[in-house]
């Protein structure tokens, strides 16, 4: 969300701003470091959205992080209009993680019954569509494409029978897709993206013997995934 705020301020100044290494600034790095520390010190972002109150709280947290990203370029009233679809997508991400993946005593994973997930998945699909429309209305190719590319994942989880792999893909790509698209404007952001989605997988495996799927999903023979 911090980088989304920086992206919007650059977009307002120059819509054709892409792959600019000069976008890396000490101010932005300090803000990103502060946001990371804030989340670790006061883990408000780990809350799951399970009510209107928690949803509004998460919206406020996302808005604060978004505004932090606008600091290097300065605040403009258009930021509020262009930032709305990013905030909607931010809520989509947290709603996605609000659907639990349960692990039993033998390590087998499962998801809630389809009837229990349908309402949440329907809200996620609707908000993803709303972010796409709002981004298109703002003539913002970044968030409109991010939301459009992500939309099939929750739609598959909603339409097809309940399966762990569908929810895993929703969780992975709700983060990976915006990270990669934002990296097209902020190329230096590829380094933490590679660390998060590739290197950390091997670190956890070789140091702790645990497998955390990045682009793969858990599919065990004989299981109803």
For the record, the structure tokens of 73 come out as: 């370029």
Say how many C-beta atoms besides its own lie within 10 A of residue 198's C-beta. 12
End-to-end CA distance of the chain: 32
- Dist CA 144 CA 154 (whole Å): 16
Question: What are the pLDDT digits (tens) for 201-213?
Answer: 777 677 777 666 6
In a domain, 208, yes or no: no
In a domain, 46, yes or no: yes
In a domain, 105, yes or no: yes
Helix axes 52-69, 26-41, angle to 10 degrees: 150
Contact 225, 164 (CB under 8 A): yes
In a domain, 80, yes or no: yes
Question: What are the pLDDT digits (tens) for 84-108?
Answer: 999 999 999 989 988 988 888 777 8
Count how many domains the chain has.
1
Contact 67, 60 (CB under 8 A): no
Give residue for tokens 């809630």.
112
Contact 92, 128 (CB under 8 A): yes
Q: What is the domain extent for residue 28?
A: 2-197
Report CA 159 to chain centroid distance, whole Å: 22
- pLDDT (tens, 9 = 90+) of the chain, 225 residues, equals 889 998 999 888 888 888 888 888 888 888 888 887 777 766 655 566 777 777 788 888 888 889 888 888 777 788 889 999 999 999 999 899 889 888 887 778 888 888 899 999 999 999 999 999 999 999 999 999 999 999 999 999 999 988 888 998 998 899 999 999 999 999 988 888 888 777 777 776 777 776 666 666 665 544 444
**Nearest Cα to 74, choosing from 11, 8, 9, 1?**
9
In a domain, 223, yes or no: no
């Amino acid at each position: 969300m911090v980088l989304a705020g920086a992206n919007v301020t650059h977009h307002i100044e120059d819509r054709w701003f892409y792959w600019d290494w000069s976008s890396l600034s000490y101010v932005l790095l300090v803000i990103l470091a502060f946001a990371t520390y804030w989340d670790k010190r006061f883990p408000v972002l780990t809350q799951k959205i399970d009510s209107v109150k928690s949803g509004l709280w998460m919206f406020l947290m996302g808005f604060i992080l978004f505004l932090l990203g606008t600091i290097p370029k300065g605040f403009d009233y258009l930021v509020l209009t262009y930032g709305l679809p990013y905030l909607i997508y931010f809520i989509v991400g947290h709603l996605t993680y609000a659907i639990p993946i349960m692990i039993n005593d033998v390590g087998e994973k499962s998801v809630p019954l389809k009837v229990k997930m349908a309402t949440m998945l329907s809200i996620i699909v609707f908000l993803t569509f709303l972010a796409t429309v709002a981004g298109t209305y703002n003539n913002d190719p970044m968030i409109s494409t991010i939301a459009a590319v992500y939309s099939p994942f929750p739609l598959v989880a909603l339409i097809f029978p309940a399966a762990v792999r569908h929810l895993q893909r929703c969780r992975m790509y709700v983060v990976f897709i915006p990270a990669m698209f934002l990296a097209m404007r902020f190329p230096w952001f590829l380094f933490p993206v590679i660390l998060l989605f590739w290197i950390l997988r091997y670190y956890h495996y070789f140091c702790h013997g645990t497998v955390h799927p990045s682009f793969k999903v858990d599919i065990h023979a004989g299981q109803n995934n």
